[in-house]
Amino acid sequence: MKKFIVPCLLLALVGYGLVWQAYSEPPSSSPKQSEFSYFVFLPLVAKSQPCQPIPGASYEVIPVPAPHPSIPASQHPDLNLAVRGYIVNPNAYLGLVDYGGGSDSAAPQLYGLFSDERVPEFVRGYRVYDWDWANNRRGEPITTWDVTLLGMRTTPGELIYLPYFGRDIYQGRFHALVLYAEETRLTLVNMRQDTVAYGYALHLEDICVDPNLVALYREWDARGRDYLPALSNRQPFATASGNEIKVAVRDTGSFMDPRSRKDWWQGK
């Protein structure tokens, strides 16, 4: 009986400490995200397996001219999408959308994310938050489009590739610059400039980025970003960590509708 009581007392004390930590945490300036749930339950969730290197994959850096961001990339709302955040739009149409106007052959073709070049099932639509640069804080959700971040159905472990871009950015063989990389997300731009203000950019969330690519990015980010990793069309760089990956597309800084057939799914 004593052997049973002692572990129970320990669990009760640990639970009390977690609850105390949750209620004593200082208030956040961000919209409420249920801090209580985070602090109480996150330590009890099983730790996910670390991302594994992609067999045979290798990565290179290319020169990136100044200027570079004055804000650290991990804190930059244009480089790390987690700084902005996003919310679900429960009323979003989960299919390709036909807009009027012309198409750009240089635009990224999102079916190229997948080995079979499919149009995946769209599972959720999200709205990315705008950014209040004057006050350096999150704004309201962007409503220019119903969807500015798209959840796509994946099979856990399937390879994720750089989608097709219609123009290269260096030496005729590189098509996207890695502006930000961490274990679960990546930001890319189809320019050889350290900003999303020009050309097309992609944010990818809930992926398992090749740790060799993350390490290479962090090395050159720490050195001042005069060189950064670059990828070629259809080069694998990550795997799907679960049943959904999220993708946002930007055109000269503006978040676009990733469901647009004429832009990002041409011929589908």
Upstream peptide bond of 67 is cis (omega within 30 degrees of 0): yes
- Is there a single domain that holds both residue 112 and residue 177? yes
Structural domain that includes position 197: 59-264
- Is there a single domain that holds both residue 120 and residue 212? yes
Note whether 128 and 149 are within 8 A (CB). yes
- Is there a single domain that holds both residue 25 and residue 125? no
Residue 54 belongs to a domain: no
pLDDT at 96 over 50: yes
pLDDT digits (tens, 9 = 90+) for 16-67: 343 333 323 333 333 433 333 333 333 333 445 789 999 999 999 999 999 9
- Is there a single domain that holds both residue 132 and residue 259? yes
pLDDT digits (tens, 9 = 90+) for 116-136: 999 999 999 999 999 999 999
User: How many structural domains are present in the chain?
Assistant: 2
First to last CA, the chain: 66
- Is there a single domain that holds both residue 153 and residue 66? yes
Residue 52 belongs to a domain: no
pLDDT at 50: 86
Q: Percent helix, strand and coil across the chain, each rounded to 5?
A: 20, 30, 50
- Is there a single domain that holds both residue 114 and residue 236? yes
pLDDT digits (tens, 9 = 90+) for 126-185: 999 999 999 999 999 999 999 999 999 999 999 999 999 999 999 999 999 999 999 999
- Is there a single domain that holds both residue 26 and residue 141? no
pLDDT digits (tens, 9 = 90+) for 181-232: 999 999 999 999 999 999 999 999 999 999 999 999 999 999 999 999 999 9
Distances (CA, A) of 15 to 3, 34, 42, 112, 207: 19, 17, 12, 47, 32
- Is there a single domain that holds both residue 218 and residue 161? yes
pTM for the model stands at 0.82
- Is there a single domain that holds both residue 143 and residue 19? no
Angle at 129 between CA 90 and CA 189, to 5 degrees: 110
- Is there a single domain that holds both residue 217 and residue 124? yes
Residue 82 belongs to a domain: yes
